Amino acid sequence: MRPLPAIPTALILVILFLGLAGCRVEVNPAVELPGKILYTTEVDGMSQVILNTPQGDDAEVVTDSGLLRNVTGFYEPHPVPGGEAIVCVAAVQGFREICLIELTDPPTAKLLTEEGSYKADPVVSHDGFYVYYVSTSILGDDEIYRLELDNPRKEPERLTDRRSDDSEPIISSDGNDLVFISDQNGSMDLYNIDLTGEEEPRRLTDMDGDINAPCFDAESDYILFDVLSEGNLDIGYVRLTSTNSGTLIETEDWMEYCPAISASGDYIMVISNLDKQVDICLYTWYGEFVRRVTDDEVREYDLVWYW
């Protein structure tokens, strides 16, 4: 194949600048964005799940101590497709179990697991069929399981089995790719399992710093995450198909973590300690601050944005 003619560097820079400028959204603090957000915060001395809009103007507490017997907190919410229910972690009698909450009036709840062990990181597949979650094995390792949402009494399927901690699973929109965090090579990095069995498991990231809180974009092309580097948390990304990675939001004076992305891919919501107050904040894909979504003295965590 004949090589392409060389393009002057200056022309390449102009083309790149024009392309990025044409895609860049304007910073509009009043921009209205679709969907709902879920997060956890302290309410009356107990960790509770909050349902809100991306504008932060309609916060609703969807959990309380009356939903389950002996419950002391709810964590890590994730929506069930359709938006009429969520799964989360419930702290019950010293253990953490996976819980389904129907967003009726009033909400109702039931436990999906009751083994009396430590569970974490529940996420529901896009077809609503499976719940993926983390459970501690008898050897003390964190492993990933999946459970049929409508048949929780069926034996869950173990998807990872290695002498490492595997956690924070996310599922691609077609249900074929399971991406998760693992320390199997020392640091916390992203790995991928092809659930169709056609491809071998592979490592997606090899960055300077531990990775946490991954999430897919709408097309399951990009994966966003927070990365701890030199004592600071920033927002990075990697592409599922090419493993190209980089940083989207990076500041020296405060930390950004637990990213969530808009349906259009133009906006990223994060939890930030901007000005020493931990709130949910909105940024553009290019790392430009847009606005605070929450503005209070309590700490928010476990952020999810769904559409």
Global pTM?
0.90
- What are the beta bridge partners of residue 193? 178
Distance, in Å, from the CA atom of 37 to the CA atom of 51, rounded to the nearest integer, reads 6
pLDDT in tens, 151-191: 999 999 999 988 889 999 999 999 999 999 999 988 999 99
66 in any annotated domain: yes
197 in any annotated domain: yes
Asked which of 180-194, 220-234, 239-253 is least confident by mean pLDDT, the reply is 239-253
pLDDT over 70 at 2, yes or no: no
232 in any annotated domain: no
Model pLDDT, residue 5: 32
* pLDDT more than 90, % of the chain: 80
The domain of 152 spans 62-204
CB distance 132 to 122 below 8 Å: yes
245 in any annotated domain: no
170 in any annotated domain: yes
The tally of domains found in the chain comes to 1
10 in any annotated domain: no
210 in any annotated domain: no
71 in any annotated domain: yes
**Would the CA dihedral through 194, 195, 200, 206 be positive or negative?**
positive
Residue 269's nearest CA partner among 232, 224, 233, 238 is 224
Query: Residue 152: which CATH number?
Result: 2.120.10.30
Model pLDDT, residue 111: 97
Residue 88 amino acid letter = C
